[in-house]
Amino acid sequence: MLLTHSHTLLASPPCDAFLRLLNGRPVGEQKELLNKWNEMGTDEPDLSLFRPVYAPKDFLEVLINLRNPNYENGDSLSFRTHLGLIQVPLKVKDIPELKEFFVELGLTTGQLGIDDSTQVPPELFENEHVRIGQKVLAEQDSAAAQQYIRQGSPTALRAELWALILNISSQPEDILYYEQLKTNVIQHDLLVDSLIYKDVKLTASNDDYYFVFEDYLYQVLLCFSRDTSVLGHFAYNSASPPKSYIRGKLGLEEYAVFYPPNGVIPFHGFSMYVAPLCFLYHEPSKLYQIFREMYVRFFFRLHSISSHPSGIVSLCLLFETLLQTYLPQLFYHLREIGAQPLRISFKWMVRAFSGYLATDQLLLLWDRILGYNSLEILAVLAAAVFAFRAVNLMEVTSLAAAEAVLADLSTLKVMPLLQIFLFATVT
């Protein structure tokens, strides 16, 4: 497998002054930052010279150009190989396999997001489900919680259930660790901080649901970029953290440092991974821990290249394959008008749908990510959205028109869409 390095996309800084990637902050500035720690949103630095390092569409271009020179396709040109954008032959599940994998989403099993709607009396499912959830929490059974949450989490129990599944318990040492990171932020200024400010200002600050939490996002992300424990996830991440060299020692490994300290360069929309969590956790160190764990378990796979079934490459291929196999007419039509479906759905998947769905629906979706320990549901949902709007999409004649049909997902109900696509469509 040929793997490319997504960090080749790093924009070169505009001028020499910006080569100082790390600065110690003068004491006066430290005091000032400490004072306004809780309201960083109101006084950001001049960001006019910054732009995001890369956006999802740049990343997509890299993925489209992935090839495996070792792979022998055989002489026959398969119909499938040439229709979608992804040209890497990874193994993805088909619908029968998905039905088995996501069996708890089936029509005969109760779901939150469907069976708790206003027309359904709570005695039928919801009350009992809540009772079981409380029992799972009382027994602090992480594995049971993961199984339980496949049917969705009641809003009041979600924060605790996620913490249980992610094995987060706020111990004094965790709080202390967060405070140390905060001190690190106060004492040193990183170039990447400006990227974070820019990203929050461009995305979360303008979002109907998340603008309220702008200040929490700065706190979490500034600390995150300095957290070297995040480097640990590179043991199972096929990407490698970018390196910087002490001045004058370029290429000498003993003088290499990871930059940023956590090895993760934020891209445009990165802050949207954190934003939905603010609805669940309002204590900064807990919010931080939950986000960090979600990142090193799941989110990193959405912007690094690997062959993992939950990696973004597999998700793209899964999406395209589902569409090609089960909605061939739609797929063919969109391709003909220059609207390759992946070009539209890619940004949804990279962000795990954050900022595209209504928050309550997003949380129901992320429940299932935790429950199944897999991101494949993102690809299935993307395909289900196309299936849902197929009639309108068949009538469009341009990429722009297709984008318009799929521009607003905020009214979608996630679970019925998934259920219909997986279990109620004739295949």
Site string for another protein, 245-284 (x = CB under 8 A): ---------------------------------xxxxx--
Region binding another protein by CB under 8 A among candidate stretches 90-98, 116-124, 179-187, 382-390: 116-124
Helix, strand, or coil (residue 243): strand
Least distance CB 119 / another protein (angstroms): 6
- Spell out the residues 6+ positions from residue 205 whose beta carbon is closer than 8 angstroms to its own: 41, 211, 214
- Using rule CB under 8 A, residue 329 touches another protein: no
CA 209-213-215 angle, to 5 degrees, is: 150
Helix, strand, or coil (residue 257): strand
- Residue closer to another protein (CB basis): 152 or 309: 152
The two structure tokens encoding residue 69: 């020179």
Site string for another protein, 181-210 (x = CB under 8 A): ------------------------xxxxx-
- Residue closer to another protein (CB basis): 106 or 122: 122
Helix, strand, or coil (residue 152): coil
- Residue closer to another protein (CB basis): 277 or 382: 277
CA 407-411-414 angle, to 5 degrees, is: 100
Least distance CB 102 / another protein (angstroms): 25
Interactions with another protein, residue window 284-303 (CB under 8 A): none
Closest to 360 measured CA to CA, from 280, 283, 294, 303: 280
What does DSSP say about strands 188-190 and 22-24: parallel, antiparallel, or unpaired?
antiparallel
Q: Which residue in this structure is represented by tokens 């220059």?
A: 338
- Using rule CB under 8 A, residue 119 touches another protein: yes
Least distance CB 39 / another protein (angstroms): 4
- Residue closer to another protein (CB basis): 83 or 130: 130
- Using rule CB under 8 A, residue 218 touches another protein: no
Neighbours of 164 (CB within 10 A): 24
Residue length, the chain? 427
- Using rule CB under 8 A, residue 76 touches another protein: no
Closest to 388 measured CA to CA, from 350, 364, 420: 420
> What is the C-alpha to C-alpha distance for residues 338 and 159, in angstroms, rounded to an integer?
43
Number of residues that bind another protein (CB under 8 A): 31
- Spell out the residues 6+ positions from residue 260 whose beta carbon is closer than 8 angstroms to its own: 190, 192, 225, 226
- Residue closer to another protein (CB basis): 16 or 43: 43
Beta bridge partners of 23: 189
Region binding another protein by CB under 8 A among candidate stretches 187-195, 211-219, 307-315, 322-330: 211-219
Helix, strand, or coil (residue 31): helix
The two structure tokens encoding residue 4: 């490319």
13 DSSP 8-state letter: P
- Residue closer to another protein (CB basis): 14 or 122: 122
Site string for another protein, 10-49 (x = CB under 8 A): ----------------------------xx-xx-------
Site string for another protein, 137-176 (x = CB under 8 A): -----------------xxx-xx-----------------
Region binding another protein by CB under 8 A among candidate stretches 3-11, 27-35, 259-267, 355-363: 355-363
Q: Contact residues for another protein (CB under 8 A)?
A: 38-39, 41-42, 118-119, 122, 154-156, 158-159, 205-209, 211-216, 278-282, 359-360, 363
